[in-house]
């Protein structure tokens, strides 16, 4: 009797561990569902929109300018951020504001990307913490699944820009 209970318990634990490993690999290497909060990507992504994020692009190094990505925050690694890729390694980025008389530029170093939120007035992004290492990218946002009224692919940047190069 005792042997049978222990055997079944160990069997169930084995299945739980197997399914846990499958779930981990799926979320790490294939994709995941994320809930975005905060105003930095408005109006493209509203507070508490539910998005599907695919992680294959990150592993294949196929992140492009204009993509909306999920990444680990360089300042607070326990937090994920949702931003738009403005520049890739080697790109020249204008870091001056639109009203600045003297324009300042920087180059995105090798192995990094330049990220900015679509809501430039209310976004903590590469303008604050600089270029983000490619290794911090979790995945690329494919489409929105909630709210249903906006189900589908994300719109282009409302600022009409992909790269800020002046």
pLDDT tens-digit series, residues 49-87:
999 999 888 878 888 999 999 999 998 889 999 999 999
Residue 43: pLDDT above 80? yes
φ, ψ for residue 104, nearest 5 deg: -110, 145
Active site residue 40: yes
**pTM summary value:** 0.78
Separation between Cα atoms, residue 113 and residue 86, nearest integer Å: 8
Report which secondary-structure segment, H or E, holds 8. helix 2-25
Active site residue 72: no
Cβ(21)–Cβ(13) under 8 Å?
A: no
Candidate list 57, 83, 123, 126, residue with the active-site label? 83
φ, ψ for residue 89, nearest 5 deg: -55, 135
Candidate list 40, 57, 123, 126, residue with the active-site label? 40
Q: Domain extents for the chain? A: 31-153
Higher pLDDT, 17 or 1: 17
Which two three-digit tokens encode residue 45?
């992504």
Q: Which tens digit of pLDDT belongs to each residue from 90-142? A: 999 988 777 778 888 889 999 999 999 888 888 888 888 889 999 999 999 98
Reported confidence tier of residue 3, pLDDT bands at 50, 70, 90: confident
Which two three-digit tokens encode residue 17?
């561990």
pLDDT of residue 160: 55
Which two three-digit tokens encode residue 152?
């589908």
Name the CATH superfamily for 31-153.
Umud Fragment, subunit A (2.10.109.10)
């Amino acid at each position: 009797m005792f042997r049978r209970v222990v055997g079944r318990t160990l069997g169930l634990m084995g299945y739980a561990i197997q399914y846990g490993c499958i779930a981990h690999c799926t979320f790490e290497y294939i994709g995941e569902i994320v809930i975005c909060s905060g105003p930095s990507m408005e109006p493209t992504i509203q507070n508490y929109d539910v998005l599907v994020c695919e992680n294959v692009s990150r592993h294949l190094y196929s992140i492009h300018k204009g993509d909306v990505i999920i990444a680990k925050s360089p300042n607070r690694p326990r937090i994920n951020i949702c931003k738009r890729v403005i520049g890739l390694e080697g790109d020249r980025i204008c870091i001056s504001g639109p009203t600045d008389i003297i324009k300042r530029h920087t180059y995105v170093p090798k192995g990094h990307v330049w990220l900015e939120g679509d809501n430039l007035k209310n976004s903590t992004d590469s303008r604050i913490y600089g270029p983000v290492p490619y290794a911090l990218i979790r995945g690329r946002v494919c489409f929105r699944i909630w709210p249903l009224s906006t189900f589908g692919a994300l719109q282009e940047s409302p600022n009409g820009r992909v790269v800020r190069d002046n």
